[in-house]
Each structure stands twice: as C-alpha cells, then as structure tokens.
Structure 1
Amino acid sequence: MSAILIGKTLHLHGAVGDDIFDGEAFSAVDVLLAVQDLPARDRLTVHLNSPGGDASEGAAIYAMLDARAGGVDVVVDGIAASAASLIAMAGETVSMSPGSVMMIHDPSAFTFGNSEALSRTVEALEVLAKTYAGIYAKKSGKSPKQCRDLMKAETWFSPDDAVEAGFADAVAQSSKTLAFAAFDYSKFKHAPQQLVALASEKNWTASKPQPEKDAKMTKDNQAQAIATARIKAIMKADEADGRGELAEHLAYETALSPEEAIAVMSAAPKGASEADELGSAFARNRVRADGKLNAEGLHSRSHGKGERESRLVTSMKQRHGAK
C-alpha cells in the first residue's frame, strides 16, 4: 500500500492497483482507508506520482476523489500516466511540478480465451475508453473525440503542454529534484527517452502476464487433466472392484496406462491379502518382458490391515482430489 494521508495531504505513489506491477502500489480501497477519517467537507490535496496500472481501479479512485464535497487539488510530483492521469482529473486544480510528465492513452488488457471472450474484452475496453475520454473532456474543455484521438496516439505532455491542452491548470514552483515512480517505461510506445533511460539504469521492471507464461500454464493444465483422467480410469474400472488397494497402487505409484493397469488387476484375485503381491509380481514380470517401465517403480509390498498408505499415495490423492 502506498496511499498515505498526512494532515490534509494524500500521497499516492506507485502503480494503480495491487498485484499489477512489482514494487509500490495503491488501490481504491487503500485510498478509501487513508481518507476515511478526513471530513468530506475538508479540502484535500493529492500529491500524485504514478505510471498508472489498472484502468478500473483508476476510474474508482477518480470517482471517489471527485465526489468529495470539500474539493480536491492535485499536484503531479513526477509522473501521472495512464490510469494515474485519470485520477489527476479529479482535481479542481491540477498543478504540474517542473519537469514532471503526464500521459493519456487507450486502456489495454490481456485476454486468454476463444473469439467470444476476446470480443467481450474489446467491447469492455471500448466502453472504458469512452468513459476515460469523457472525463478528460470534462477537465480540458475538448470534445470526447479529440481526447480519444489523443488517447489512441498515446500522448505525453510536459508541464507547459499539459496546461496548454487543458489537462492541468498551472506549473507549480519547486526547486526540488523530481523522483519518478519506479516502472519499466519502455512498456509505453512513446515514453520520453529520459524515462526509458532512467528505468534501464535503475533496472525497473514491470510484472505483466507474458504470452509464454500463459502457454506454460496451459500445458501444465493439460498435463494435469491427462494425469487426472488416467487415475480416474483406473480407479473407476470394473476390475478395481474388490481390488481397491491394488488399484490405488497402480494409479498413484506407477506410470502404467489404464489398459495396462486393468490387465494387472484382472489377473489378481479379488479381496485376497495376496492381491497386491500377485499384481505387483505380474507387473514386474510384464515390465521385464516388454521393457516399457522401470521395474523398480513397481515394487512388491504388502498391505496389511494396520499398514498406513504411503506418503506418495496420500500426496497424489490430495493433488488429484481423490478420497
């Protein structure tokens, strides 16, 4: 959390929205908690230094500040980009510190799914973009279309440019050196080179979902589904009836296919204490004959009444949701 209230001054530093980027971040809930004891009639000054983040969180924070009865003044200390620039629009007065920057652009999102899911994301982004454009228009006096064009172009403003465009009201007088929020500014298409260079020098990175990570997750999910289906096929087979302990052994402690496991179970007697011994012996002999599996993976073991199931069996059953 990086939403700190000191007196009647709220400091917002870092990314907008928790779990969006590594490092400092603040959410709508953080802002709400920070100002909850400040009377709504009191005027609030917000010092903002953020590269942006979650577009919906930015809209929620804007609405919260804009609704304050006492009014809000915003000072951009270092940067107000993306969702943070929308938050800045809540200020009745917006002041840009010398050397600070502001950026507005269209919201974006990562989506995984079929064409219908992607279409829904496009529709949601379009609604959000129109909402953003309307808020920028309200502050600047421009039309929503003009603001949307600036958003699509990813437009960066110096303090003087922001004042001229109507997104800020004044350039604050300050001799202090600016401290920009830590962020990988190369993620933006048209970020000022001094910010890109600063991010490289400081080794600032942003934690965003990467396609290759999504692909790995998909492969892991597929492998999990295959393993679960294999276990279910063995445990639910008719041959497992009366051979429960043997079925567990074959399902959780071997790599036998369902067909191979069923063959082992069908050769073992039902309900006999020697069932596992016979089944394991059958499997070991079969492995030696066809060389498909490591014989050590199908060791012989007894399952007496008082014997507890192995840790591996317990672990595998928990992992695959088996009882």
Structure 2
Amino acid sequence: MKKGKYFTMKNLGDKKASIDIFGEIVSEDYRWYEEDTSAVSFRDALNELGDVSELEIHINSPGGDVFSGVAIANMIKQHPAKTSVYIDGLAASIATTIASSADHVYMASNSMYMIHNAMTGFYGNHNDMRKVADTLEHLNNSMVKQSYIDKNPAIDVEALSAMMDNETWLSASEAFALGLIDEVLQPVQVAASITKEQMERFNNVPKALSAVDDEPIQQPVASIDKEYLDNALAMIREEMKALKQVEEKPKAKNNFFLNLN
C-alpha cells in the first residue's frame, strides 16, 4: 500500500486494485501536502499497480485544478481495466468529472455531489478579464459540462447549465435521477472532505457541511472511581509536602506544584 491516508493505492489481489482520492486535486507543482492528488501522482500510482483487470477509485474530494482533474479522468477512461468509482463522502467541482469517467459510478446515500462552472482567481485589466472569461467558458463547456453529457447523453443540457450556473449540491438520489451516477449505496462512515478555506470558494455549501467546523465535538464522559481519585489526590499531597521540606531550592519544573494551595 502506498503511504498516506488520503491519496493511497493498494493491490487487492486477483488483478484487482484500489486508489483513494481523499483530498484536493492539484497540479504537481502545487502538490505540497500528502493528501493532495495530482495527475502525475495518479499516473505513477497506476504504473505501480501494473496489470490489473479491475480498478476501484474511492473519492472524497472538494475538487481543485481543472486540467489535473481532466487528465486523471482521461487516464481512467483509457485504462484497460474495468473501472468503478465510489463516492464515499464528497465529490465536488472537478472531482465529479473524475467520477464521471468510470465505467460504473456508485454513491453512498449520505454523500454529496456538487457541480458548478469552472472558476479562477485573476488579476488584470478589462481586456484581460474578458479573455479569461472566454477561456473559462470554453473550458467549462468543452471539459467540465461535457463530462456530464458523456456520462448521460440524455441529460437535459439546459437544466444542467442552469444548475452549474447556480452551484448546485446534489444528494445521491438527485445525482442518480440526473444520470450522473449509476447506483446508490448504503451510507458509509466517511466525513465529507472540505475545510473552511475550501468552503469559502463556494456559494451554496449545505448547512450540514458548513456547520461541521462550528459544532463542538461531543466527547464521551468517562466515569471516575471516587476511591481511586481520593487515593491519587492523597499521593499528590504527600509529594507536595515532601517537596516543601527539601532545603535545596526546588528546580523550576516543581514550581507549579509548590504554588498550589
């Protein structure tokens, strides 16, 4: 198994293998973190797996770089193995294009699927802005939107365009109804992979995801035996008493105990 709990690959035997994409999709130059997936790292993982006849790709990703995502999607399409994508938590933005490239797409019933138009951050004058807008529109139609149409040629393109314009978050059943996935599975225990920084890029993040970092985690309350606690406190008092009786000046690390009343 390749190291890392986010982007991992493993050979399952009998010419079957699995790859996990549980982080952002980035270009190789910006692959600074272990959890990120680039087209290069995905290619290397495929090469390392060697000759396999079945390939599972598990996705829990907020998306990322368009060109890297499209390259990964094309590698999946071109791979000779039977390919299956499992959306375990979140497939957002370009991660949905990756998902659409597989022969069969499964989605856990408690997962999310988000589609929107390609976007970028840019600085320049009005002429530069128009050029960038035209480029984004071309990328959006030729790469991103086309991946959904390829997945379901019968999809209502006008309705699809409207959903992308409005940044639409789909449940598993909604994605299935649109023909973007092939099968809905039982819930899996995987948290959607999205940080506050990533959420700020989007406009319509569901409350179920946007509240994740704001809600306190309820820790289980451990029961403490009173007799055990009393004995522990008695031992601490004895140690403090012994320290006070030492004529030598206490070391700095004991000052905390000496100042207790």
> What is the TM-score with the length of structure 2 in the denominator?
0.71
1:48 aligns with 2:59: yes
Within the alignment, does 1:138 sit opposite 2:142 as a pair? no
State how far apart, in whole Å, the 1-side matches of 2:52 and 2:94 are.
26
Counterpart amino acid of residue 23 in structure 2:
G
Go from structure 1 to structure 2 and tell me whether the alpha carbon gap of 1:186 and 1:139 turns closer, same or farther (over 3 Å shift).
same
What corresponds to 1:195 in structure 2?
209
Measured at CA, do residues 145 and 88 of structure 1 come closer, stay the same or move farther in structure 2, by a change above 3 Å? same
Distance of 2:133 and 2:201 partners within structure 1: 21
| Higher helix proportion (structure 1 or 2) | 1
CA distance in 1, matches of 2:19, 2:89: 15
Aligned counterpart for 2:140 among listed residues 129, 139, 143: 129
Secondary structure of 1:44's counterpart equals: strand
Asked if the contact 2:21–2:59 (Cα under 8 Å) also holds between the matched residues in 1, the reply is yes
Aligned residues with identical type, % of pairs: 28
Q: Aligned with 1:15: secondary structure?
A: coil
Please tell me whether Structure 1 or Structure 2 has the larger radius of gyration of its CA atoms: 1
Structure 1 residues 201 and 182: CA distance shift in structure 2, 3 A: farther
Confirm or deny: 8 A CA contact 2:7 2:34 kept in the other structure. no
Matches of 1:79 and 1:48 in 2, distance apart? 7
User: Which residue matches 1:93?
Assistant: 104
CA contact (8 A) 1:97 1:171 kept: yes
Q: Indicate the larger mover: 134-143 or 70-79.
A: 134-143
Equivalent position amino acid for 1:148 in 2: S
Q: Distance in 2 between matches of 1:117 and 1:177?
A: 45
Alpha-carbon spacing, 1:117–1:104, altered in 2? closer, same or farther (3 Å): same
Amino acid at match of 1:84: A
Instruction: Give the Å deviation of 1:22.
Output: 7.7
8 Å Cα contact 1:20/1:53 also seen in 2: no
1:200-222, Cα deviation, whole Å (9 max, x unpaired)? 448xxxxxxxxxxxxxxxxxxxx
Aligned counterparts of 1:117 and 1:163: Cα–Cα separation in 2: 39
The superposition leaves residues 76-135 of structure 1 with CA deviations (integer Å, 9 ceiling, x where unpaired) of: 010000011111101211111121000110010111122232222111101111021111
Question: How far does the alpha carbon of each residue in 1:230-265 deviate from its partner, in whole angstroms, 9 at most, with x for none?
Answer: xxxxxxxxxxxxxxxxxxxxxxxxxxxxxxxxxxxx
Q: Would the aligned equivalents of 1:134 and 1:144 in 2 still touch at CA under 8 Å?
A: no
Structure 2 CA distance for aligned equivalents of residues 87 and 180 of structure 1: 17
1:72 deviates by 1.2
The partner residue of 1:103 within 95, 111, 114 is 114
2:195 to 164, 172, 183: 183
Moved more, 165-174 or 96-105: 165-174
Structure 2 Cα separation of the partners of residues 139 and 113 of structure 1: 36
Match of 1:206 in 2: none
Listed one character per residue, the Cα deviations across residues 269-318 of structure 1 (whole Å, up to 9, x for unaligned) are: xxxxxxxxxxxxxxxxxxxxxxxxxxxxxxxxxxxxxxxxxxxxxxxxxx
Which blocks of at least 5 consecutive residues in structure 2 are unaligned?
A: 12-16, 217-261
Q: Does the Cα contact within 8 Å between 1:186 and 1:196 map onto a contact in 2?
A: no
Whether the aligned pair in 1 keeps the contact of 2:108 and 2:172 (CA below 8 Å) is yes
Q: Is residue 180 of structure 2 the alignment partner of residue 167 of structure 1? A: yes
The answer on whether the counterparts of 1:129 and 1:148 sit within 8 Å (CA) in structure 2 is no
- Checking the alignment, whether the CA contact within 8 Å between 2:10 and 2:49 is kept in structure 1 is no
Q: Which has the higher contact order (CA 8 A, sep 6+)?
A: 2
1:72 aligned onto 2:86: no
Distance change in 2, residues 1:164/1:97 (3 Å): same
Letter in 1 for 2:161: R
RMSD of aligned C-alpha atoms? 2.2
**1:28 matches 2:32:** no
Asked if 2 retains the 8 angstrom alpha-carbon contact of 1:99 and 1:178, the reply is no
Aligned residue for 2:162? Answer: 149
Deviation at 1:67, TM superposition (A): 1.1
- Aligned with 2:102: secondary structure? coil
For the structure 1 residues 22 and 187, does the alpha-carbon distance in structure 2 shift closer, same or farther, using more than 3 Å as the test?
A: farther
- C-alpha contact (below 8 Å) 1:23/1:182 kept by paired residues: no
Distance in structure 2 (CA, Å) of the matches to 1:58 and 1:143: 24
Residue matched to 1:4:
8
Unaligned 5+ runs, structure 1 = 203-323
Change (3 A) 1:21 1:114: farther
- Separation in structure 2 between the aligned mates of residue 134 and residue 169 of structure 1, nearest angstrom: 17
Structure 2 CA distance for partners of 1:22 and 1:183, relative to 1, 3 Å? farther
Structure 1 match to 2:259: none
Work out the CA distance in 2 between the residues paired with 1:54 and 1:200: 27
